[in-house]
Amino acid sequence: MAKSATRSAKPAYRRVVVKVSGEALSGPDGYGIHQPTIDRIARDLVAAHRLGVKLGVVVGGGNIMRGAQISKAGLSRARADAMGMLGTVMNSLILETAIERAGSSARTMSALSMPQVCETYERQRALRHLDEGRVVVFAGGTGNPFFTTDTTAVLRAAEMGCDAVLKATDVDGIYTADPKKDPKAKRYTTLTHQEALDRSLKVMDATAFALAQENETPIIVFSIRVPGAIEAVLRGKGRSTVVRG
């Protein structure tokens, strides 16, 4: 009975953006595309979508290339970031296909205009896709250099009128130190945006936290490696850290 009640519980958030790192798509390989991992993440996204949640997704490009790292090879940061944004488009198209294969309609919208590949991002059209029941995959970052995909996720959440940003990471929340290196690190259950900024917590960049604070957007940090974690977060369950005003 208790299990049934948990399954039928209404989602705590009804309109969200999920931020998935590019590295998450590489699975155990550490680089490139790991199809079984992508399919599992897509199934989790579809399960969340079937709760009746309006769902946007921002995916990074770190499994293919990072602008900040490429710039060390002699390219300008602006050009290197443009290459990184192209990586997010490739990842978004792969994820869109996996989401549709898992049973939900999806649409990739890129901040970089490439109409022969996918739709160009327009706020009103994106809102219409969400309201018509599609998962919208936001590609191309903000379309500008020097901004991370974390900032993109918070920006798109504000534009879409979302209740929260779900930040999928390798660990189940924000810790006082790197839990992979420090066994004594403790997980925060809740934090304010200002605390996250003051403590220089590296789970998201300062611009993303500041934008979330300005728009009063909660950020829920959780582990994407746990199957069903997205649905659990939406139901207010599972292990995570909630960052809010």
Per residue in 31-52, pLDDT tens?
Answer: 899 999 999 999 999 999 999 9
Q: At CA 50, angle to CA 47 and CA 56, rounded to 5? A: 80
Cα 91 from Cα 64, distance rounded (Å): 9
Domain limits, the chain: 14-244
Q: Are 71 and 102 a contacting pair, CB within 8 Å?
A: no
User: What is the number of alpha carbons within 13 Å of residue 234 lying toward its C-beta?
Assistant: 27
Tell me, what's the pLDDT at 116?
A: 97
pLDDT tens by residue, 8-34: 568 999 999 999 999 999 988 888 999
Q: Are 166 and 204 a contacting pair, CB within 8 Å?
A: no
Q: Are 143 and 112 a contacting pair, CB within 8 Å?
A: yes
Tell me, what's the pLDDT at 114?
A: 96
Whether CATH 1.25.40.10 fits 14-244: no
Give pLDDT < 70 ranges for the chain: 1-9, 66-72
Cα 57 from Cα 19, distance rounded (Å): 6
